[in-house]
Amino acid sequence: MMTTLNPYLNFPGTARDAITFYARVFGGEPTISTFGEFGMAQDPAQADLVMHSQLTSPSGLVLMASDSPDSADLVVGSNVSVSLSGDDEAELRGYWDALVDGGQVTVPMEASPWGDVFGMLVDKFGINWLVNVAVTPPEG
C-alpha cells in the first residue's frame, strides 16, 4: 500500500457544511460519520457532529474533516494552509473561483515574482488556501 499525506481539517461544528462545500468545489461524494453513529458522543447535543468525513475528488485529491466537540480552544485556520499547485491553469482557477465564494482574497491570483501565477485566500470556513499555477517559461 502506498503512503499518502492529505489535509485533515477540524471545525467547531461546521464540518458537514465544509465537506459538502468542498465536494462542490472539487467534485466527488463525501462520506460522513457522526459521533452518535459510533456511540462516541459525550453529550447528546454532540451526536450529529462529524466524527470523520472524507472526500476523494475525481482527480484524486483527498480531503478529510471533522468537528471538534470541545472546540473552546479551536481557532480554525490559525495554524495551517492548504496548497493547490499544478500546471492546469483552468482547473486551478476553477478551484480558486469556487473557494473564494463567500471567502476573502488575501493575495490576488496573478503573476508572481517567481514567474508562476499565485494567489492566497481564506474560504468561508476560515481555511487558508494557496493556489499556484506553474508557468512553463518560453523556450528560446
Dihedral, CA of residue 112, residue 118, residue 119 and residue 123, to nearest 10: -170
Look over the chain and give the mean of its residue pLDDT values, rounded to a whole number: 91
Architecture per CATH, domain 8-67, reads as: Roll (3.10)
Instruction: Report the C-alpha gap between 61 and 57 in whole angstroms.
Output: 5
The pTM for the full model equals 0.86
Q: Is 115 helix (H, G, I), strand (E, B) or coil?
A: coil
Instruction: For 84-139, write each residue's pLDDT tens digit.
Output: 999 999 999 999 999 999 999 999 999 998 899 999 999 999 999 999 999 876 66
- 38 or 11, higher pLDDT: 11
CATH annotation of 81-133: 3.10.180.10
Task: For the chain, give every domain's residue range.
Answer: 8-67, 81-133
Q: Go through the chain and tell me how many residues it has.
A: 140
Q: Do domains 8-67 and 81-133 have the same CATH topology?
A: yes
Report pLDDT for 102.
98
More confident residue, 21 or 140: 21
How many other CB atoms sit within 10 Å of the CB of residue 120?
18
- Tell me if 7 sits within 8 A of 76, measured CB to CB: no
